[in-house]
Structure 1
Amino acid sequence: MTDAEIARRALPLLDLTDLSDACTAADITALCAAARASGVAAVCVWPQFVAQAARDLAGSGVRIATVVNFPAGGEDVAGTLRETRAALADGADEIDLVLPYPALRDGRPEAARAMVDAVRAMCAETCLKVILETGMLAPDLIRQASRLALAAGADMIKTSTGKTAISATPEAAEIMLEAIRDGGGRQGLKVSGGLRTVADAARYLDLADRMMGSGWARPDTFRIGASALRAALVAALEPTA
């Protein structure tokens, strides 16, 4: 597959993201303009920018995702529900929830499950992605976290917040895809953090094709969370002189 073919496949799967600490309203305006121009699946923004993104993207078909319980993965269910309620009221189409992965590491999966259950109940009609923070988990805990989130009704499981030293890895993605496949393949995967090149996108698309079948990776089952990647994909589509 050529770089242009990979780019045409990957762009509609992209969650164009700005979760930088210094993000401004002007940055969101630019992000939404880029999202419109490239026809990506969604933008992913801080909760305080959801209402602006909803205005900027009205009528575009680009979805608005935001993050809750982010990035630490705490256990404050009531606070996370307040965040979620406000984001939905502002126009969020998708909620990316950080799993209480420290609780999972401490041997308290029930605390992690309680968070996902509560947010799932509030997001009955909304896409829920559960961020596992795989860079902070050993392989057996990635497997446990994947199964827990999927059993609690996550529409997608997501590798990373992008705020830790290790973000998405093919090894973690493979474990997560195994859990999705074992559950029937109806739920999805989002790889996030550290993807910057066409080759990065190809690596994860190839993995999804190998494990789930060539027609499985669609916007409702497979997302790539990145900002730097968009420029590489757009450049791959530009005609050479």
Structure 2
Amino acid sequence: MALEKYIDHTNLRPTATVDDIEKLCKEALEHNFYAVCVNGCHVSSAKENLSGSPVKVAAVIGFPLGAMSTKAKICEALDCCKNGADEIDMVINIGWLKSRLYDSVREEITAIKGAIGDNVLKVIIETCYLTDSEKETACILAVEAGADFVKTSTGFGTGGATLEDVKLMKNIVGDKAEIKASGGVKDKASAQQYIDLGVSRIGTSSGPSLIK
């Protein structure tokens, strides 16, 4: 598969303007990226800008901290889907995970997946804040909850994707879920390394330069 089909072209900056999102979508169309990834307030405009194209719209929820209530995350996810999001990238409740409230973490993911139905759910585990054991547990819980993807990072934490974390995640999820690497993937060589490890999607704000 061509490299561009792995890319979720991303702009999640709090300062992103309407013009910035329009530019993001134009670049996604020009380069035939798989999806754009935006904050919820930009879903409608992204969908409009991409109308008639195969480029998907992914929206983040519970972003970037993951500490909102489950009810709030569900409402956010439903609103994004109503406005045209094809995929939802949710942040887990990191504090719950570190408190070993595993049932709560699993139930939240299950509830969001149940609410969005056939829409793709990616679960951001924010690896930079977790021990290896916690990363493994997060992946297990996401799979048990029916998530479609596990995702390394928000890009707003203290670190992004690493090859070591993707290897660990792949070892846990196997073929039960796909993997998205995000945060700090800025060049073609790095992207290819992640793909070689079994990543299905790469979240990056450097899509156009990455494929050159």
In the superposition, the TM-score normalised over structure 1's length comes to 0.85
Q: Which amino acid aligns with 1:143?
A: E
Tell me if structure 2 keeps the 8 A contact 1:195–1:229: no
- 1:151 Cα deviation from its structure 2 partner: 0.9
1:226 aligns with 2:193: no
| Separation in 2, partners of 1:110, 1:170 | 29
2:114 alignment partner AA: A
Q: Is the 8 A contact 1:75 1:111 kept in 2?
A: no
Q: Structure 1 CA distance, aligned partners of 2:96 and 2:191?
A: 31
Is the CA contact (8 Å cut-off) linking 1:198 and 1:229 kept in structure 2?
no
1:51 counterpart SS class: helix
- Aligned to 2:82, which of 80, 89, 102? 89
- Inter-partner Cα distance in structure 2 for 1:206 and 1:78: 38
Contact 2:10 2:204 in 1 (8 A): yes
CA distance in structure 2 between the partners assigned to 1:45 and 1:63 by the alignment: 11
Q: 2:150 aligns with which of 130, 148, 157?
A: 157
Identify unmatched segments of 5+ residues in structure 1. Answer: 1-7, 209-216, 236-241
1:131-146 maps to which residues of 2 (within 5 A)?
131-146=124-139
One-letter amino acid matched to 2:145 = A
Paired residue for 1:121?
Answer: 114
Q: What are the superposed Cα offsets for residues 158-209 of structure 1, whole Å, 9 maximum, x if unpaired?
A: 000000111111111111111221xxx142000000000111112112222x
Could you say if the C-alpha distance between residues 78 and 158 of structure 1 is closer, same or farther in structure 2, counting changes exceeding 3 Å? same
How far 1:75 sits from its partner (Å)? 4.8
| Structure 1 CA distance for aligned equivalents of residues 208 and 139 of structure 2 | 27
1:53 aligned residue: 46
Structure 2 CA distance for aligned equivalents of residues 205 and 85 of structure 1 = 31
Query: What is the CA–CA distance in structure 2 between the aligned matches of 1:207 and 1:121, rounded to whole Å?
Result: 29
**Contact between 2:143 and 2:176, CA under 8 Å: does it hold in 1?**
no
Q: Which amino acid aligns with 2:195?
A: L
Counterpart AA for 2:126: E
In 1, distance between residues paired with 2:168 and 2:23? 35
CA deviation profile, 1:107-144 (whole Å, cap 9, x unmatched): 21122112101101101111000000011101111000
Between the aligned residues of both structures, percent identity stands at 33
Partner Cα distance (1:150, 1:31) in 2:
31
| Partner of residue 7, structure 2 | 14
Q: CA RMSD in A?
A: 1.2
**Counterparts of 2:74 and 2:195, CA distance in 1:** 33
The structure number with the bigger radius of gyration is 1
What is the CA distance between 1:230 and its match in structure 2?
2.8
Give aligned pairs, total.
212
TM score, norm. by length of structure 2? 0.96
Unmatched runs of 5 consecutive residues or more in structure 2: none
**Counterpart check, 1:168 vs 2:161:** yes
- Give the C-alpha shift of residue 9 in structure 1: 2.7
